[in-house]
């Protein structure tokens, strides 16, 4: 439990006591549950040496995210003050599926970057959200990622949930962590799947040779993907995919791992299929769309399901594939 916060003129130091029910839990998961910080924020604080065992900031042993915690242990979490936003609001048309005082669900188009990064300082979803929401965005994600609870790749389209306050951000992050947030995708993959329904359970880590890629690796983070075939046309399978975990590039890595890369994927082997070469105008990246999102509203406790239609590029690919079967 969170005991108190001490301000030393530069940053807050929060004292956290581990309750019995979290005995033996990984440190990053436990502290994310016991503070108002997301798990990724906790990991950044750990990497920066800002979380210690004991009650005196800087005097205890720095904590690693893989360390296990024990009931009754006390930890000091040093939380830097919020930085000023250096991301400018931009007026843009956003496809907002739902919005209230706590959350916003948006249908992101293919090609839009979620948050600013080197080479993408403007035109991102965050720039648009800052214009639309003003100051009503959670700050937990940091100055570059206000309100962002989870992400999808630039060339993946579909649904994202945005937190409009820190309470909502913490609750939604917890749902991601315990897998109660349900995310369903549609994707076209190369080849026929070995079975109508299947699961890929394979850990994912940064690729050892190419740091821009991810790969299945024994020492990677736990990752589970469930898929269902919706039909095969022209050597390509239309799939419904449900994420149990949310690792970077997870669907793309897992489908390539089992020999069925996502159609059009330029990173994991899906761009050389004859269909891609025949219809290049359809492909600006992978055929992958976040079609449904199920979550529990952080304020009301209501179970909510959001859906969006398949984008034009995906529907046109299906039409052409169906024609090829006639």
CATH no. for residue 99? Answer: 3.30.2350.10
CATH code at position 40: 3.10.290.10
In the listed set 79, 103, 120, which residue is the last one of a domain according to the structure? 79
DSSP one-letter string for 46-70:
HHTT-EEESSSTTTSPBPPTTPBP-
Burial 174-200, CB ≥16 within 10 A → b, else e: bbbbeeebebbbbbbbbbebeeeeeeb
231 with 320, same domain? yes
Please indicate, yes or no, if residue 312 is contained in any of the structural domains: yes
230 with 293, same domain? yes
141 with 233, same domain? no
Of 56, 156, 46, 62, nearest to 110 by C-alpha is: 156
> Which pLDDT does position 219 carry in this prediction?
80
> Which pLDDT does position 35 carry in this prediction?
72
Looking at the DSSP assignment, which residues form a beta bridge with residue 214?
206
Please indicate, yes or no, if residue 238 is contained in any of the structural domains: yes
Residues of the chain with pLDDT under 50: 1-12, 57-58, 82, 84-85
Work out how many domains the chain is built from and give that number: 3
Model confidence pLDDT, tens digit, residues 61-81: 667 777 888 988 888 887 665
198 with 299, same domain? yes
Burial 306-326, CB ≥16 within 10 A → b, else e: bebeebebbeebbeebeeeee
> CA-to-CA distance for 31 and 50, rounded, in angstroms?
13
Please indicate, yes or no, if residue 90 is contained in any of the structural domains: no
Model confidence pLDDT, tens digit, residues 198-253: 999 999 988 877 877 899 998 888 999 999 999 999 899 999 999 998 888 999 99
Residue with tokens 């979550």: 295
Please indicate, yes or no, if residue 311 is contained in any of the structural domains: yes
109 with 43, same domain? no
In the listed set 147, 177, 207, which residue is the last one of a domain according to the structure? 177
In the listed set 113, 142, 177, which residue is the last one of a domain according to the structure? 177
153, 155, 238, 265: the active-site residue: 153
> Which pLDDT does position 27 carry in this prediction?
87
201 with 288, same domain? yes
189 with 259, same domain? yes
Which range marks the domain in which residue 173 is found? Answer: 95-177
> Which pLDDT does position 316 carry in this prediction?
97
> Which pLDDT does position 10 carry in this prediction?
37
318 with 186, same domain? yes
Please indicate, yes or no, if residue 87 is contained in any of the structural domains: no
Told to judge if 153 belongs to the known catalytic residues of this protein, a careful annotator would answer: yes
> Which pLDDT does position 88 carry in this prediction?
83
> Which pLDDT does position 96 carry in this prediction?
96
């Amino acid at each position: 439990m969170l005991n108190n916060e001490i301000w030393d003129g530069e940053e807050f130091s929060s004292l956290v006591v581990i309750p019995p029910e979290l005995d033996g839990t990984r440190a990053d998961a436990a502290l994310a549950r016991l503070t108002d910080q997301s798990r990724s924020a906790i990991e950044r604080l750990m990497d920066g040496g800002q979380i210690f065992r004991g009650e005196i900031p800087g005097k205890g042993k720095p904590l690693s995210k893989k360390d296990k915690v024990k009931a009754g242990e006390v930890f000091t979490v040093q939380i830097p003050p919020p930085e000023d936003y250096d991301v400018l609001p931009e007026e843009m048309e956003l496809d907002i599926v739902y919005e209230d005082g706590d959350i916003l669900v948006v249908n992101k188009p293919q090609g839009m970057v979620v948050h600013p990064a080197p080479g993408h300082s403007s035109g991102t979803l965050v720039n648009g959200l800052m214009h639309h929401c003003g100051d009503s965005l959670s700050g937990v994600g940091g100055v570059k990622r206000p309100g962002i609870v989870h992400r999808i790749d630039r060339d993946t389209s579909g649904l994202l949930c945005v937190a409009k306050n820190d309470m909502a951000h913490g609750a939604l992050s917890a749902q991601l962590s315990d897998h109660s947030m349900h995310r369903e995708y549609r994707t076209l993959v190369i080849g026929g799947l070995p079975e109508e329904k299947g699961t890929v359970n394979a850990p994912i880590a940064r690729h050892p040779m190419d740091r821009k890629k991810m790969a299945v690796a024994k020492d990677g983070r736990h990752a589970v993907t469930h898929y269902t075939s919706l039909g095969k046309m022209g050597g390509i399978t239309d799939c419904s995919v449900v994420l149990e975990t949310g690792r970077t590039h997870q669907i793309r890595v897992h489908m390539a791992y089992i020999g069925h890369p996502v159609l059009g994927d330029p990173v994991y082997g899906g761009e050389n299929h004859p269909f891609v070469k025949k219809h290049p105008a359809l492909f600006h990246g992978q055929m992958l769309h976040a079609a449904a999102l199920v979550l529990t509203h952080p304020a009301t406790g209501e179970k909510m399901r959001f859906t969006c239609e398949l984008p034009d590029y995906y529907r046109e690919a299906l039409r052409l594939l169906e024609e090829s079967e006639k």
